[in-house]
Amino acid sequence: MKPQKPWEGPKRRKKSKSGDISKRYTLPAAAVEAIREAAAEYRSRGRVVQVAAELLTRMDPPPTPDPALGKMQRMTYRIPQRTVDLIEELARTSYNNDRAQVFAAGIKAIQMKKIK
């Protein structure tokens, strides 16, 4: 191992923002594509997921997703703990414990022209 120069600090891993966690979800492939497309407008994919979850909690009643979700895909998003909790709560209360339906409904909410 090379000795360190006096001006070189110890090598450290980059610390993440407190409260943000990486969470892996199984969601419809169409939702994955819609999140990727919306990421340019919202600056990141995690922010798209965050906005979708917040919209769903404020909508009365939340939109119903398509019964046939199609091909499923696993994705990891870096999101705040509050968003993880919102997704779990929405899945439990409105979508029969199915997180994939929460994502499908969230994409519908983001794509709506007029939110009630």
Structural domain count of the chain:
1
In a domain, 9, yes or no: no
In a domain, 49, yes or no: yes
In a domain, 5, yes or no: no
Query: Residue 14's pLDDT is what?
Result: 64
Sign of CA dihedral 19, 24, 25, 29: positive
Tell me the pLDDT of the chain (116 aa) as tens digits. Answer: 677 777 776 666 666 556 799 999 999 999 999 999 999 999 999 999 999 999 999 998 888 877 888 999 999 999 999 999 999 999 999 999 999 999 999 999 999 877 76
Query: Residue 116's pLDDT is what?
Result: 64
In a domain, 107, yes or no: yes
In a domain, 17, yes or no: no
Q: Residue 24 has what DSSP assignment?
A: E
Query: Residue 45's pLDDT is what?
Result: 96
H or E element in which residue 76 lies: strand 72-80
| Whole-angstrom distance, CA of residue 87 vs CA of residue 49 | 9
Query: Residue 107's pLDDT is what?
Result: 94
- pTM for this entry: 0.81
Which residue range forms the structural domain that includes residue 94? 25-111
Q: How many CB atoms lie within 10 A of CB 40?
A: 9
In a domain, 19, yes or no: no
In a domain, 7, yes or no: no
In a domain, 10, yes or no: no
| Whole-angstrom distance, CA of residue 103 vs CA of residue 51 | 11
